[in-house]
Copies of this chain bind each other. A is one copy, B any other.
Amino acid sequence: MVMARRPSSQTLAVSALFLESTGQWHHGYDISKRLRIPSGTLYPILMRLSDRGHLETRWTESETPGRPARHMYRLTATGRDWAAVAVADARRQNLGVRQTAEGMA
């Protein structure tokens, strides 16, 4: 039984962010800053979502040397469906899916 547990608020926030811009690639550092989720929490989330087929990934090299490459993520088709349901469910139950860091202030 994969993903038995309801997604955490952090996972929901990440999912909502991807849903807002379906088809677009995002990278961890950007998501981390936008949602104020620390890297040690975010990267495991991104990896879990990827492992479950909700996100697909790709690497893009930096144009300036010395900077680490970016690991890009975006929703898969099934990921979009899963995220839509998960976020809608959470909103219905008023579980507070934050859109941005500011929205949670």
* Chain A residues packing against B (C-beta within 8 Å): 59, 65-69, 71
Contacts and interface: CB of A to CB of B under 8 A. Distances in A.
Contacts of A66: 59, 68-69, 71
Protomer copies: 2
B68 A67 contact: yes
Nearest to A28: B66
Nearest to A70: B66
Contacts of A59: 65-66
Contacts of A65: 59, 69, 71
Contacts of A67: 68
A26 to B, nearest CB: 15
A58 B66 CA distance: 11
A46 B67 CA distance: 18
Given A59-B66, A65-B69, A66-B69, 6 more contacts: A59-B65, A65-B71, A66-B68, A66-B71, A67-B68, A68-B68
